[in-house]
Homo-oligomer: A and B are copies of this chain.
């Protein structure tokens, strides 16, 4: 039977998913890795893949496709670009995996794109032709799906909607060197910063926060009636709705899927986001659906497997 691996590569660990070709997730395993630069590092990965197969009574020859995601740009040809946030020799890892699984087709995909593909294959975007998965995490990224395929971009920058300019008056500089990016308001960091700033402006004491990305506490405070917290979240939803209205003027997708850590608060801000989008969008696109992504952290793993299957055909 044909098997597929979807491997979500992070900075400190990898999440391995073993799938059947039809999309059923057979087994998962998370393996701490750290840097992936040497033959020893790569052996940790291939060893883990072998163990998962063995535990599930499958042989290496049955693996027809292996997809890996990367927290950085991957262009339309599958070439990996600069990886500022992770220590990874992608060419070395590719060679090591190919050595162990000669029958498998390997594919790399950007992590936000992987999550979008996962939702398309087995999640909230199943059966949809065009969709944008918006990952609201430490940063803001997106996976853009058109005609059932992920759009990588000529320079691997498709879906960089975290860097749409939403406030031309902003003077604070974004990580990208520009000012007024969506990411400055709709990332976990952005929500917490806006909350703290508004507490200070209102002379209110912030609720205890575990760190600069602890949006969960801000959401909880808002749910318990904290107006400053609600205000910060609604600002986030307004900026995001504005940005998605711009995206619709470019590719006009059928549905937006809201995921990532901040996306977990969708129940709280979803309606506000929808009304902001309808306020800012062209009338033609007012019917676009905005829903919560459904596969959570596993989305990327699914999407890696799916991309590898697509690349094979």
Q: A residues bordering B, Cβ < 8 Å?
A: 73, 76, 81, 129-130, 144, 146-147, 149, 151-161, 163-165, 167-168, 176-178, 242, 245-254, 280, 282-285, 287-288
Question: In the complex, are the beta carbons of A155 and B76 less than 8 A apart?
Answer: no
Question: In the complex, are the beta carbons of B252 and A250 less than 8 A apart?
Answer: no
Binding site secondary structure of chain A: loop
Q: How far is the CB of A235 from chain B (nearest CB, A)?
A: 14
> A81–B245 Cα gap in the complex (Å)?
20
How many copies of the shown chain assemble into the complex? Answer: 2
Question: In the complex, are the beta carbons of A252 and B282 less than 8 A apart?
Answer: no
> A163–B286 Cα gap in the complex (Å)?
14
> For residue A255, which residue of chain B has the nearest CB?
B154
Q: How far is the CB of A219 from chain B (nearest CB, A)?
A: 27
Question: In the complex, are the beta carbons of B168 and A252 less than 8 A apart?
Answer: no
Which residues of B have CB within 8 Å of A161? 249-250
Which residues of B have CB within 8 Å of A167? 168
> For residue A72, which residue of chain B has the nearest CB?
B284
Which residues of B have CB within 8 Å of A159? 250
Q: How far is the CB of A148 from chain B (nearest CB, A)?
A: 11
Which residues of B have CB within 8 Å of A285? 153-155, 157
Question: In the complex, are the beta carbons of A176 and B282 less than 8 A apart?
Answer: yes
Which residues of B have CB within 8 Å of A284? 73, 81, 155-157, 160
Question: In the complex, are the beta carbons of B130 and A252 less than 8 A apart?
Answer: no
Question: In the complex, are the beta carbons of A249 and B163 less than 8 A apart?
Answer: yes
Given A144-B251, A157-B249, 12 more pairs with CB closer than 8 A:
A130-B151, A151-B252, A153-B248, A153-B253, A158-B251, A160-B252, A163-B249, A164-B249, A165-B245, A165-B280, A168-B168, A250-B250
Question: In the complex, are the beta carbons of A153 and B130 less than 8 A apart?
Answer: yes
Which residues of B have CB within 8 Å of A146? 146-147, 151
Q: How far is the CB of A245 from chain B (nearest CB, A)?
A: 8
Q: How far is the CB of A156 from chain B (nearest CB, A)?
A: 7
Q: How far is the CB of A92 from chain B (nearest CB, A)?
A: 24
> For residue A166, which residue of chain B has the nearest CB?
B168
Q: How far is the CB of A216 from chain B (nearest CB, A)?
A: 28
Which residues of B have CB within 8 Å of A81? 284
> A156–B282 Cα gap in the complex (Å)?
11
Which residues of B have CB within 8 Å of A249? 157, 160-161, 163-164
> A76–B242 Cα gap in the complex (Å)?
24
Q: How far is the CB of A86 from chain B (nearest CB, A)?
A: 17
Which residues of B have CB within 8 Å of A151? 130, 146-147, 251-252
